[in-house]
């Protein structure tokens, strides 16, 4: 009981410390934060049901949904996911793609360390200026990247918690910006078969950052005929802090080891509209998984007032292939995940990934 009180006390303190940035936010502040790529889920498994798995996420997908779920890594887990955002390079719409790598290792009897890398690219973009608006000045390639280092701990059979430190880097050929943020989360499970789960996570809490580089400078000739160089002063941008609260329930059936899970989550965004996510997942023989979900926000059905390219619907599938002999003390699995997210006016987002679990 003492451990439970301590864990909830820590989370409560962090929520209160971030209250000004989380709860004071509204849609009028949309577009004023930085590092908004942190709000994009790069993992194929959890995006298949609308990122609703705040309460029951397990493994390396926890880097996005709730870092407490990292504690479910058995011994070692490695994953890679490629996401073609809004059609990606093949879609000829956005040219954006995301590559995400993750590694989790159990370092203590109850503790798991993890590291992940998310890199987002947009292909080659033509350089244009006011004086030369035609695409004859070469190209540039923006890159957005964040590195995560996390630790998750199993406090009791019912309580798990974790902390994640993320380093953010954004750059073009002549402008760079960097910063850092912290995630924290807990999960609580209860029931005869741990079928009922609750989760809460605070994400992207950190100081503001700004850009610097030669791209902010410009040359001009003053009234005296002298050539001079000046520099624009870049403003500070806050982190896109958000608070997630989730719940899930498993319906278990002995025949063919079937499971039907319903999950829901609420996300309070400091710089965007709040989101409500619901998802359902069906599992057969602990090998085959189908899932779908929906993320709702205000005006998502109104094409004139919608403030997101995503229309909310998502679906996905997974297959867990055992690579070790049946009955092995240390089973090894290869998991293949796929998800699809719908969008308006652009082609949908495809994500495919693979995970080795030892």
Q: Average pLDDT for residues 269-281, to the nearest whole number?
A: 92
Greater confidence (212 vs 278) lies with 278
Beta partners for 205? 182
CA-CA distance, 270 to 345, in Å (whole number)? 26
Judge whether 118 and 79 are in contact, CB under 8 Å: no
Tokens 């929906």 locate to 294
CA-CA distance, 99 to 27, in Å (whole number)? 29
| Residue 148's pLDDT band (cuts 50, 70, 90) | very high
Q: Is the pLDDT of residue 341 over 50?
A: yes
Greater confidence (292 vs 18) lies with 292
| Residue 258's pLDDT band (cuts 50, 70, 90) | very high
Q: Is the pLDDT of residue 321 over 80?
A: yes
Structural domains of the chain, count:
1
| Residue 6's pLDDT band (cuts 50, 70, 90) | low
pLDDT of residue 93: 55
Q: Average pLDDT for residues 39-58, to the nearest whole number?
A: 95
What is the per-residue pLDDT across 214-225, written as a single tens digit (0 to 9) for each? 888 878 787 787
pLDDT of residue 262: 97
Pull the structure tokens for residue 339: 């998800």
Q: Is the pLDDT of residue 53 over 80?
A: yes
Largest CA distance in the chain: 88
| Residue 90's pLDDT band (cuts 50, 70, 90) | very low
Greater confidence (325 vs 261) lies with 261
Domain holding 346, by residue range, is: 2-357
The fraction of the chain above a pLDDT of 90, given in percent, is 59
Q: Dihedrals φ, ψ of 330, to 5°?
A: -120, 75
pLDDT of residue 172: 87
Judge whether 319 and 288 are in contact, CB under 8 Å: yes
CA-CA distance, 123 to 55, in Å (whole number)? 36
The predicted model scores a pTM of 0.88
Q: Count the Cβ atoms, other than its own, within 10 Å of residue 284.
A: 13
For the ranges 39-53, 82-96, 344-358, the lowest mean pLDDT is seen at: 82-96
pLDDT of residue 50: 92
What is the per-residue pLDDT across 117-144, written as a single tens digit (0 to 9) for each? 999 988 788 888 777 777 777 888 888 9
pLDDT of residue 1: 46
Q: How does the average pLDDT of the chain come out, rounded? A: 87
What is the per-residue pLDDT across 8-48, written as a single tens digit (0 to 9) for each? 445 544 444 444 444 444 566 777 788 899 999 999 999 99
Q: Average pLDDT for residues 165-185, to the nearest whole number?
A: 93
pLDDT of residue 41: 96
| Residue 88's pLDDT band (cuts 50, 70, 90) | low
CATH number of the domain bearing residue 52: 2.40.160.40
Task: State the DSSP string of 1-45.
Answer: -HHHHHHHHHHHHHHHHTHHHHTT--GGGTT-BS-GGGGS---HH
Please list the alpha-helical segments (H only) found in the chain: 2-17, 19-22, 44-47, 88-91
Pull the structure tokens for residue 300: 């998502």
Q: Is the pLDDT of residue 283 over 80?
A: yes
Q: Dihedrals φ, ψ of 34, to 5°?
A: -110, 175
Q: Average pLDDT for residues 230-241, to the nearest whole number?
A: 86
pLDDT of residue 26: 57
Q: Average pLDDT for residues 188-199, to the nearest whole number?
A: 94
């Amino acid at each position: 009981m003492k451990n439970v009180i301590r864990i909830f006390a820590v989370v409560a303190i962090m929520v209160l410390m971030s209250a000004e940035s989380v709860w004071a936010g509204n849609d009028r502040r949309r577009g004023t934060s930085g590092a908004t790529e942190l709000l994009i889920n790069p993992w194929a498994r959890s995006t298949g049901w609308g990122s609703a798995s705040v309460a029951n996420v397990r493994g390396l997908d926890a880097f996005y949904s709730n870092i407490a779920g990292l504690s479910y890594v058995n011994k070692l887990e490695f994953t890679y996911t490629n996401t073609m955002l809004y059609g990606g390079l093949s879609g000829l719409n956005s040219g954006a793609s995301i590559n995400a790598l993750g590694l989790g290792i159990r370092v203590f009897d109850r503790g798991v360390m993890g590291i992940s890398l998310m890199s987002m690219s947009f292909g080659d973009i033509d350089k244009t200026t006011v004086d030369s608006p035609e695409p004859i000045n070469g190209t540039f390639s923006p890159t957005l990247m964040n590195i995560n280092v996390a630790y998750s701990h199993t406090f009791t059979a019912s309580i798990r918690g974790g902390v994640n430190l993320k380093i953010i880097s954004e750059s073009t050929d002549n402008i760079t910006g960097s910063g850092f943020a912290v995630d924290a989360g807990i999960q609580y499970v209860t029931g005869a078969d741990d079928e009922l789960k609750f989760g809460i996570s605070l994400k992207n809490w950190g100081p503001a950052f700004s850009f610097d580089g030669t791209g902010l400078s410009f040359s001009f000739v003053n009234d005296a005929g002298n050539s001079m160089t000046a520099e624009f002063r870049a403003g500070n941008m806050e982190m896109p802090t958000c608070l997630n609260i989730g719940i899930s329930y498993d319906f278990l059936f002995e025949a063919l080891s079937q499971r039907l899970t319903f999950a829901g989550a609420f996300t309070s965004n400091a710089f965007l509209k709040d989101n409500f996510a619901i998802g359902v997942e069906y599992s057969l023989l602990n090998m085959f998984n189908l899932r779908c979900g929906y993320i709702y926000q205000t005006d998502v059905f109104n094409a004139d007032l919608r403030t997101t390219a995503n229309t909310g619907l998502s679906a996905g599938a997974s297959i867990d292939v055992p690579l070790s002999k049946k009955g092995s003390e240390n089973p090894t699995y290869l998991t293949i995940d796929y998800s699809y997210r719908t969008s308006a006016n652009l082609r949908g987002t495809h994500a495919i990934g693979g995970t080795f679990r030892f």
